[in-house]
Structure formats: structure tokens, C-alpha cells
A = this chain, B = another copy of it.
Amino acid sequence: MTIKDARTPASSQDEQPSSGRPVPDRSVPDGSESGGSESGRPAEESGKSIGWHRGYVEGSRPDLRVPVRQVHLTNGQSVTLYDTSGPYTDPSVDTDVRRGLSPLRENWIIARGDTAEYAGRPVRPEDDGIKHTSPRGGLRNLDAVFPGRPRQPRRSRDGGPVTQFAYARRGEVTPEMEYVALRENVSPEVVREEIAAGRAVLPANVNHPEIEPMIIGKRFLVKVNANIGNSAVTSSIEEEVEKMTWATHWGADTVMDLSTGRNIHTTREWVLRNSPVPIGTVPLYQALEKVDGRAEELTWEIYKDTVIEQAEQGVDYMTVHAGVRLPYVPLTANRKTGIVSRGGSIMAAWCLAHHRESFLYEHFEELCEILAAYDVTYSLGDGLRPGSIADANDEAQFAELRTLGELNTIAKRFQVQTMIEGPGHVPMHKIKENIDLQQEICDEAPFYTLGPLTTDVAPAYDHITSGIGAAMIAWWGTAMLCYVTPKEHLGLPDRDDVKTGVITYKIAAHAADLAKGHPGAQDWDDALSDARFEFRWEDQFNLALDPDTAREFHDETLPAEPAKTAHFCSMCGPKFCSMKISHDIRRDHGGSRAEIEDGMARKSKEFAASGNRVYLPLAD
């Protein structure tokens, strides 16, 4: 494997001499101010080449270059980490939010020859929540929606599945599979096998060629999803794009756009065209907007039209609450907190209003055909997830899970990639049952959980109550974690909340990678601990999940530049460093244990003669 650094183009070494790690403007406390490019643009860092940089691992063909984060250390070594930040952190790429990212996968999709462009569904004012005066009159003006390059939607040429699952089943290793194999440091065949077995998904709509492919499955690194979403009052379209790049900058592997209200279609278009990660949605939310929030007026036709609208735009995975069936609604009646999922409550309302089985459940096969034609991945929603500790693992929740198992089987028959959503609020001793049951009932389809939150008593800290549960359930096999921010239950997350949520969940995911013994996962911890032990402060910061905050916290107590190379820190001070004694032990007694045991006796006397200064003050 060859790693190219974005700083050094293949043609000439050091043409682009040095660029430090991105330094996002941390002075902007919330998402209400601009800065679309700041989160990704590397900044010069006083001429030093230490720091982190976007590099690439080259695959079997020139257009297959997998991004990595190269952390260059002060001791000349470098550490390679997974990178989700997209081309925004590559100084050799000129990004423009109005033009969108370049369509990395376009040639791969075209080369397969199984899809074709077509005119597509007309974009209507009501797609953006604008009151429809002439419901039949369509708009076909993509320029109005997004100023970037014109595009036609694409779908299966013959209506058959064009999914990574279908390819994997027939034994094909696609460029996308090779890409994620390089990213995960496994063989492409392992990727193909896991997808073919339904144990992993590679969400990659044929209409979202801009993504850098990634995989979600228990044999791979645990992934993190961040939710964004406009609200009528507080966000502009550019701000939503900025929220997306901000989340991926800190490590979000996928982003769900949960926008409601106005400009929902246009916002999604901008997000998709600029997103290097798969985008997920809940089509039911937009469908409900189209009937002015009246759940009982929803129809299969409106829903289906919305799914096609979003599939044509390039949504990579969709949450579908088809497991909320009519007979399960009464099971929620005696719950402490009833139904807390928005999608679940909409479908429950519809079922009760019509006293009929869910239209999503009844039309599930037709939905499979649509998703297969674009390679949209199912995220089968847990509409009856528990919203409190009291409701965890109850009859309603597990009844729905059994239905999700049925639906997973159907989806697989249609060769649609499928993952299963999970709770919610669950105390620690009831977490394992969730993943074990899901894996059994759903044939090991990837589990995608929200937390779970391990207690209800800490609003404002639910990133932590849920980060605990997330780490545990990921260790036990959950493939992707949906983040929770400090604002959960209280308000809309701002920029700082998004960052805190992503960082907390990256911790949970990485802790799980370690506990699962994921190959190479511990290299990161080892590199940081080596730096810590050797007092290489800059390396500690640059290797940290959040270099900015680590540096800032250090500088609060010891701000001077020499403190960055000092062999002590503010916790113990110069006279009192516990790590230094270990260095002294090695220095005075040899490097290995045998040497030390041997040397201890021998050196004891000369040591005493030298003044017994083991615990040397370094300064005073």
C-alpha cells in the first residue's frame, strides 16, 4: 500500500511545502453564523510540517484513492488514521459549496452499464413546503434548486437491483468495495462477503456519486452518524451545509438530514452535492409536510412520490417505519412515555385514524423495488423504541423488532441493502439483550442504535448518558451509532453541541473498536501514549480526537511555548513527575526486565554513591 500525502503531489515532492492541520474557527459558538469553508481549510502552522494532513492510499486504479489522515510526529514518524473530512481538508482541491464536490464514483457507476439517466420526477413547489396552488403543475428547474453542474437522475436500466448487495451476491468486487477495503485495512473479499451475507451495508445511491464510500457492519470500524436539520426559524441552507461539513470534519461517518418545514428539498440538494459521506433521511417527515402535518391524510402515493423524489436526489439510506403495525399501538398504552419516535407516532396516528394496517407495511415490497433501482439502503426504523428506562425492552419494542426481522428478509429477497435501527433509553443490564435479539431476529443485519441512554436523570448531559450505552452496545456488535447531543430533550443543537456529540460518539466507537480487538485500532492509543510518556506535547495534541481543545486546556495552565517540550506538566509540576521516574528506571537499570533485574543488584551501590538522585528535579 502506498500512501501519498496531499501535500506532496505525485509529480514533484514538496512542491507544496507545508500545511498544518485544519484550524476551524472555534470562536463561533453556534451554527447561526457563517463559515462554510473554515471547518475544512488547512492553515499554515508557523512553517512546521508536523500536524495532520490529508493523504491518500492508492488502490488498483488511478481513480481509486482512499483518503487517510496522516499525523506527522515530531520524532519523524507518522500515524495513519481514518479520515471523514472530505476534500475540504485537501489543499490541492479547490472546493466551492455552490459547485458541489466532484463526482468521484460517476465513472464507476456508468461503467457498470446497468443504470441510465432519465427525465425524473418534476420538482414541485410543495417539495419545498410552498403552498401548492396548482398541484399538477410541475417545475423542472434544477438550477433554481442548486446552481452546480446540471444533472439528470439515474436509475436501474431494467428495474432490477443495482445494489452493492446484488453485486456482492454475484461475486463482484466493485470499486466501492475495494475502496472501503483499503479504508478498513481488510481484503476486498472480506468486504464482498460481509455485504453478500447482509452483515454489512455500503450505502451509495447511484445519484450520490460524490461520496467517499464507507461500510457499516460489525466486522468493520464502528461508525457514527450525526443528525442535522433545518428549522424554519434558525437555519439557512448554507448553514445546513456547514453543519454537515462541521460534523464530518470531527469524524461523522454519515449524516442524516432531518429537516422539516420550508426549503426541505433544496436544502437536501445542497447537502447532497457537497457531502463526502452518505446522507440518510426520514422520507415520512417530508411526506407529512406535504399534507400540512395531518397524519391521517398521508397516503402510500404521497409517500412513494417522496421516496422517489429523494432517491433521485441521491439520498443514500432512508429510515422507514414499516414495523409500526396497527396491533402494536395498544401495546404502548401503559408505557411511561408512550411513543417517542416521531416517525413511529405519525404511523401510529395514521393506523388509528383509519383503523387499518400501516400502508408502509402493506406496500413494503413495492418500496423494495424502488430502493433497489437506486441502491438506497433501508434503515428500518424503530418507531416503538423506549423513551424512558421504564419502557426498555418491553413488549411493544420487541414486537416491532420481530416485524423488522420479517421485513429484513423481504428486503434481502429484493436485494436491497438493509440495516436495523435500535433504541433508545435502556439501562445497562438490559442493553445486551437488544443486540443479541436483533442479531438473531434480523440475520445479523447491521444494527444502528441511538445511544442507548442509560439513565433518564441527566438532561443537558445525554451525550454522556448515551455515550456509555453506545460504547457498550457497539462492543457487543452494533455497527453504527447515532449520536446524541447535549441538547437532546431540550432544544436544537448548535455548532458546539454537534461537535460535542460527534466527539463523544467517536470515543464510544473507538472504545468499542478496541474492545472488539479491531486490527490496528490500538495503534492510535499506543501512538498517543508513547507521545505522552515521552513528553511530546505537540504530538499528543495532534493525535487527539480534538487537537484544538487539548492544546487549549494545556495552555490554560502552562501557556509558554517551552512548556510544550518540558518533561513535566502542570498536574505534578517539575519536581513531582511520576512518568519521569519510569524513564529513570530504564536509564539507570537497563531497558528490558531481565536487564533491570540483573542490573538492579549491580547498580544499587553505585547508585547510592551517585547521591541517590533518582527523582531529579528538572527545574524549580
Interface residues, chain A, with chain B CB atoms under 8 Å away: 231, 234, 260, 288, 293-297, 329-342, 344-346, 348-349, 352-355, 387-390, 425, 427-429, 454-461, 463-465, 467-468, 471-472, 475, 486-487, 489-492, 494, 503-504, 506-508, 510-512, 514-517, 522, 524-526, 528-530, 532-533, 540-541, 543-546, 549-550, 552-554, 556-558, 569-573, 575-586, 588-593, 595-597, 600-601, 604, 607-608, 612-615, 617
Contacts and interface: CB of A to CB of B under 8 A. Distances in A.
A525 B388 contact: yes
Contacts of A613: 294, 296
A572 to B, nearest CB: 6
B529 A387 contact: yes
21 contacts: A296-B615, A330-B600, A333-B596, A338-B581, A338-B582, A349-B581, A349-B584, A352-B585, A352-B589, A355-B604, A355-B608, A388-B533, A428-B511, A454-B507, A455-B525, A457-B544, A458-B503, A460-B550, A489-B532, A491-B570, A492-B570
The 3 closest A-B pairs by CB, nearest first: A338-B582, A491-B557, A388-B529
Contact of A345 (B494, B528, B578): B578
Nearest to A541: B459
A585 to B, nearest CB: 6
Given A464-B464, A592-B333, A592-B334, A525 B355 contact: no
A578 B532 contact: no
Nearest to A533: B337
Contacts of A491: 553-554, 556-558, 569-571
Contacts of A427: 511, 514-515, 522
Contact of A612 (B353, B526, B545): B353
Residue of A353, A556, A578, A600 with most chain B CB atoms under a 10 A cut-off: A578
Overall SS of chain A's interface: helix
A561 B52 CA distance: 47
B489 A338 contact: no
Contacts of A346: 578, 581, 615
Contacts of A341: 578
A487 B352 CA distance: 52
B339 A582 contact: yes
A602 to B, nearest CB: 10
A571 to B, nearest CB: 7
B512 A614 contact: no
A576 B293 contact: yes
Contact of A545 (B336, B457, B529): B457
Contacts of A546: 458, 460-461
B553 A508 contact: no
A458 B507 contact: yes
B533 A296 contact: no
Contacts of A573: 231, 260
Contact of A428 (B490, B515, B592): B515
A545 B458 contact: yes
A293 B617 contact: yes
A487 B555 CA distance: 11
A436 to B, nearest CB: 16
B475 A428 contact: yes
B428 A512 contact: yes
A379 B37 CA distance: 52
A525 B614 contact: no
B352 A588 contact: yes
Given A514-B389, A515-B429, A591-B333, A614 B578 contact: no
A219 to B, nearest CB: 16
Nearest to A611: B296
Contacts of A540: 459, 489
